[in-house]
Amino acid sequence: MKNTYTKLGQDKVSQFWHDDSVPFIEARGVEDGRKFCYARHSHETFSIGAITAGCSTYHNGDARYEVAAGTVVLMNPGDVHACNPIADQPWSYRMLYVDTPWLTELQCKLGIASDSRFRPFATTHTTDPGLFAGLNALYEVLIDAQVEPVQKHNAAIAFFTQVLQSLTPAPSELQEPNHKLERAAAFIDEHCTDTLRLDDICRAADLSPSYLIRAFKQHYGMTPHGYLINRRIQFARNQLRQGRLIAEVALEAGFADQAHFQRAFKQYLAATPGHYRG
């Protein structure tokens, strides 16, 4: 097991949990969220969290909410989001990050999805007490070094079965796809660790710079540059979980130097690469 625990002052604690024997899930707990501010970002994983004390602002897409203790927040893969403190009010939370293929497979077994495509949730947050208690119980199981991996796996299946059976999937997307924007995103995905210029993306998508920037942000919730940095951070996150050296990961992820990488990583993940890797 790889279990990272770092004190950030006398009573400020942040914890990441990873376990190679339960590779499809990752956990994070923060006991004082006032020192953790996120830029708007997205994950390849499905994310679900519980506000355990206080309250915060929660952005998901164009919507903004104030969420308080007892609330469960949900972010589908690709949802642009951020949770941040309100003024200097203390708040705490726990997050679970779940690999999308694993959750999609569970959807198929439960008859919610009929193919290999993930069915997103319509719900962005809920105060369902059963889901709140279930998430906290799973978190405690995951971080307990005395619990066997098979028990953690079974506890994850039980909780996410509860989630899938309790919440409504989002309706099928009826909007016509914008193939040129999808080409732009796919080009960034494929070349995110390379040195990319806006002109490179425009040529790949056959779009003008002004249209690309405006339409891409409207469609994906962030500019092409923000999307590129986000993809680099997700690449780096996967590499750090494997114990890679920070300096090596910084260069492989496409950052000019380690200092630039440190700043971007903290902005998007509200943690330093060293704290994340452990």
> Both 157 and 227 in a single domain?
no
Quick check: is 124 in a domain?
A: yes
> Both 233 and 205 in a single domain?
yes
> Both 159 and 249 in a single domain?
no
241 membership: H or E segment, kind and range: helix 224-241
DSSP character for 33?
G
Amino acid identity, position 133 = A
> Both 159 and 256 in a single domain?
no
Quick check: is 53 in a domain?
A: yes
> Both 161 and 24 in a single domain?
yes
pLDDT tens-digit series, residues 5-16: 333 223 347 889
Is residue 213 packed enough to be buried (19+ CB in 10 Å), middle (13-18) or exposed (0-12)?
Answer: middle
What's the domain range around 253?
179-277
User: Is 127 a residue whose pLDDT tops 70?
Assistant: yes
User: Is 258 a residue whose pLDDT tops 70?
Assistant: yes
Q: Which residue among 166, 197, 230 closes a domain?
A: 166
Is residue 63 packed enough to be buried (19+ CB in 10 Å), middle (13-18) or exposed (0-12)?
Answer: exposed
How many domains in the chain? 2
> Both 12 and 128 in a single domain?
yes
Beta-carbon contacts of 173 under 8 Å, excluding residues fewer than 6 positions away, are none
State percent of the chain over pLDDT 70: 94
User: Is 72 a residue whose pLDDT tops 60?
Assistant: yes
> Both 19 and 147 in a single domain?
yes
Q: Which residue among 131, 166, 201 closes a domain?
A: 166
Q: State the pLDDT at residue 176.
A: 66
Q: State the pLDDT at residue 88.
A: 86
Q: Which residue among 166, 196, 229 closes a domain?
A: 166
> Both 105 and 230 in a single domain?
no
Beta-carbon contacts of 253 under 8 Å, excluding residues fewer than 6 positions away, are 193, 232, 233, 235, 236, 239, 261
Query: What is the rounded distance in angstroms from the CA atom of residue 76 to the CA atom of residue 259?
Result: 31
> Both 67 and 112 in a single domain?
yes
> Both 215 and 152 in a single domain?
no
- Provide the whole-model pTM: 0.87
> Both 106 and 238 in a single domain?
no
Beta-carbon contacts of 42 under 8 Å, excluding residues fewer than 6 positions away, are 75, 77, 78, 79, 80, 81, 221, 222, 230
Mean pLDDT throughout 75-97? 94
pLDDT tens-digit series, residues 91-113: 999 999 999 999 999 999 998 88
DSSP character for 43?
-
The CATH number assigned to the domain holding 161 equals 2.60.120.10
> Both 159 and 199 in a single domain?
no
Residue of 171 and 273 predicted with greater confidence = 273
User: Is 35 a residue whose pLDDT tops 60?
Assistant: yes
The CATH number assigned to the domain holding 261 equals 1.10.10.60
Task: Single out the residue of 267, 275, 197, 184 nearest to residue 233, CA to CA.
Answer: 267
Quick check: is 173 in a domain?
A: no
Q: State the pLDDT at residue 173.
A: 57
pLDDT tens-digit series, residues 155-213: 999 999 999 999 988 776 545 678 999 999 999 999 999 999 999 999 999 999 999 99
pLDDT tens-digit series, residues 129-152: 999 999 999 999 999 999 999 999
Q: Strand, coil or helix: what is 250?
A: helix
